[in-house]
Amino acid sequence: MRLLCALLLAACCRRAAGVLGEAEPPEPELVEVEVGSTALLRCGPSQAQGNLSYVDWFSVHREKPVLIFRVLQGQGHSVAGEYEHRLSLREAGAALALTHVTPHDERVFLCQAKPPGPGEHRLQLRVYKAPEEPSIQANTQGISVNSPEPEEVATCVGRNGYPVPQVVWYKNGQPLKEQKDRVHIQSSQTAESSGLYTLRSVLQAQLRKQDRDARFYCELSYRLPSGSHMKESPEVTVPVFYPAETVWLEVAPAGPLKEGDRVEIQCLADGNPPPHFSLSKQDPGTLELVEERTLEDGVLVLAPARREHSGRYQCQGLDLESSASLLSAPRELRVDFVSDVRVRPAAPEAHEGGNLTLTCRAESSQELEFQWLREETGKVLAPQSVLELQNLDREAGGGYRCVASAPRVPGLNATRLVSVAVFGPPWMALRERKVRAPEDALLNLTCVAWGHPRPTITWSVGGTASEQNQGPQGVLSLLSVRVTPQLVETGAQCVASNTLGRNSTRFLLELACNRSTGPSTATVGPHTRANGTTTEKKLPEPQSKGVVIAAVTVSLLVLALLGAVLCFFHKKGKLPCGRSGKQDITLPPSHKSTFVVEVKSDKPPEEMGLLQGSRAVSGDLLPQVPPSSAVWLREGLGQALHWGGKPAGSPGPGSVWKQWPLPGWSPSDPAVAQQWSRRVLQARSCALGSGSDRVRAGDGVPVPFKGTRLVTPAPNSMEGPGGRLGNRPELV
């Protein structure tokens, strides 16, 4: 029995001695790779690898080796399992490659080489994955400075990292550390099915009023095979609630205020949220504060501001949480004004050649400067409140404006317009106007006159007249009248008169062609040309007598020189003049419709050629008229003129004969003959229209007048007592 015990004790002692004597296994070789890459596992250092023709590879999981790959005679073979399809030999069999590394591959790998190989070698595989960019979510509800314990400031999240990264919180660039009852950081991690980790960190802190603009962010620190790295989140701010300590009042716009401005008076405080405001104005009579009604909390809008808004204002802030009340310092508001601009005399008037003094006054809260301006031109007449007008003429009548301005307040001014009346007879811009209008058209004639007293206008012909005032001294009269041959003969005259005199404008009418089938309307305005052709003759403007004499003298000298040159060329035979000579007159393009040719002849009327297509008649007309009291016109294609009895022939396709009556004709009355001739040519102008720009005087049919002025000829032929004309004549 004793022997058995001794043997057992000896065996135990030997085993214990053997364990204590064994050497510790060496640290495994470290291999570091990133997730998704390929890890190269070598069976020992390259200089000691020896023969690797027979090697077994094991994966050590929970201290238990599992065969995963075998090398026989230099050929590798995977063992069925989790690494079956991810292992292969590399570097001529010197390394085992593990592809598509995942966090689950982080473990110890063991290789055993048969002699004469290196024996057993252990490798520790470390796997790394950088986390995604950190996200941060701030507390949008806000934190009160009166909170008794730390409240959540922000939350930081870092996703899909391996191993778990480290988090550090910063405020205004300074790292935050745990502080009892002040700062607390609580972090947690979640393992995903992929083996990666998601980190969640919450910052809790007690904030003060000075933290209302503080910027918070988090930083994630992690390691890769290349070294240590870090990522930062965006910065965030957190609403901080604190009671107000001061209340004040602001006015916009800043600077001087004037009547008409849009003014805002606003109550402000340094608390968050701001307290409830009330705005009051001091009553100037009782000196008590009277609360004003505001559109918003603590905002009073004065639009437009008036002088009555001037006064002392004060704000009161009430903290609804603590029921504390604060008052602002009172502020004086001043609204400047300029008003009640007055001019004496209020209705100034004077006679021509007289003098006039205008005085301007105004009320204002500031010192004023005055200016007098001419209303029509804007010219500054006097930089003072008194305007002296001397030696007045009719041009001095009209508007004068007094401007009262406060130079200390930009844009503050007021004006008053006064009209100066200068006694005088009516004045009209035109003495005579020539108007062309078609027969039976409704013609609107406009006449304007000025004067003081304001003139009245009458017309020499009947029609529908209307008047309207043109300023304080002018009047405009509009007459609507139908164009008739009698109106063409007599013309129309408007007469302006007042107690000091009268003046007139005469309208000379001429018939114009009207080829439209419906009624027409022509308007002659006071300053624009009528529908057709008008010629205006203005009243002479006042000018220097010396200038007139000089102009007349120069004109006479030019005419004398021109006559001498023409006489010289005529004597030399270079200027063909006479009865048989022919010369072409070509109209310039820009004057085709206005060029006037005067044709005179020393032959008796029987030998003169009838000129065709005249539009106007002037000169001495002989009382030689056809033996009939009517003229026949052919209208349409191939239009022509015929006097005497009605033509026997057809007027032609598309044409009709139209009779032009000549009432009151008497062969012994030269005046009637002259009127008849004018009517004939005016009618012929309307019937035949305009034509060529070249005219030649021919021989043949006698003409019933001595002189004729041609403007534009007509292309058609004409019939007279002597028979039908030949081809279209041209002037020579």
Domain that includes residue 309, residue range:
247-336
Answer yes or no: do 628 and 703 share one domain. yes
Answer yes or no: do 93 and 161 share one domain. no
Least confident of 56-60, 258-262, 363-367, 649-653: 649-653
| Residue range 318-334: mean pLDDT, rounded | 89
Q: Residue 294 above 50 pLDDT? A: yes
Least confident of 111-115, 320-324, 598-602, 659-663: 598-602
End-to-end CA distance of the chain: 178
Q: What is the CATH number of the domain that holds 39?
A: 2.60.40.10
Answer yes or no: do 415 and 443 share one domain. no
Number of structural domains the chain divides into: 6
Answer yes or no: do 345 and 331 share one domain. no
Contact 103, 35 (CB under 8 A): yes
Torsion, Cα of 16, 19, 21, 27 (10° steps): -160
> Which comes out higher in pLDDT, residue 660 or 200?
200
Q: What is the pLDDT of residues 395-432, one digit of tens each?
A: 898 899 999 999 999 999 999 999 999 998 998 988 89
Q: What is the pLDDT of residues 246-288, one digit of tens each?
A: 999 999 999 999 999 999 999 999 999 999 999 999 998 888 8
Answer yes or no: do 394 and 517 share one domain. no
Instruction: Give CA–CA dist 125/472, Å, rounded.
Output: 108
Answer yes or no: do 638 and 689 share one domain. yes
Least confident of 73-77, 340-344, 552-556: 552-556
Answer yes or no: do 518 and 628 share one domain. no
Q: What is the DSSP string of 339-357?
A: EEEEEESSS-EEETT--EE
Q: What is the pLDDT of residues 118-151, one digit of tens each?
A: 678 999 999 999 999 999 999 999 999 989 999 9
Q: Residue 503 above 80 pLDDT? A: yes
Tell me the percentage of the chain whose pLDDT exceeds 90.
Answer: 50
Answer yes or no: do 206 and 149 share one domain. yes
pTM of the model: 0.51
Lookup: tokens for 240: 């901080």
pLDDT level of residue 94 (50, 70, 90 thresholds): confident
The whole-number pLDDT of residue 224 equals 96
Q: What is the DSSP string of 161-179?
A: EBSPPEEEEEETTEE---B
Answer yes or no: do 418 and 432 share one domain. no
Domain for residue 583, yes or no? no
- By three-state DSSP, how is residue 712 classified? coil
Answer yes or no: do 143 and 226 share one domain. yes
pLDDT level of residue 49 (50, 70, 90 thresholds): low
Instruction: Give CA–CA dist 73/54, Å, rounded.
Output: 6
> Which comes out higher in pLDDT, residue 297 or 166?
166
Instruction: Give CA–CA dist 449/349, Å, rounded.
Output: 18
Domain for residue 388, yes or no? yes
Q: Residue 531 above 50 pLDDT? A: no
The whole-number pLDDT of residue 426 equals 92
Answer yes or no: do 714 and 675 share one domain. yes
Cis peptide before 438 (omega within 30 of 0): no
Q: Is 578 left (phi over 0), alpha (psi -120 to 50) or beta?
A: left
Give φ, ψ of 710 to 5 degrees. Answer: -105, 135
Q: What is the pLDDT of residues 611-650, one digit of tens each?
A: 333 333 333 333 344 444 455 555 443 344 455 556 666 6
Answer yes or no: do 60 and 114 share one domain. yes
Least confident of 52-66, 68-82, 225-239, 663-677: 663-677
Instruction: Give CA–CA dist 334/408, Å, rounded.
Output: 13
The whole-number pLDDT of residue 650 equals 62
Q: Residue 12 above 50 pLDDT? A: no
Domain for residue 568, yes or no? no
Instruction: Give CA–CA dist 612/596, Å, rounded.
Output: 14
The whole-number pLDDT of residue 508 equals 92
- Own/partner pairs for 61-64, CB < 8 Å, 24+ apart? 61/107
Instruction: Give CA–CA dist 468/446, Å, rounded.
Output: 11
Q: Which helix (H) or strand (E) holds 680?
A: helix 670-688
pLDDT level of residue 159 (50, 70, 90 thresholds): very high
Of 231, 239, 208, 210, the residue nearest 156 (C-alpha): 231
**Angle, CA of 189, 190 and 191, to the nearest 5°:** 125
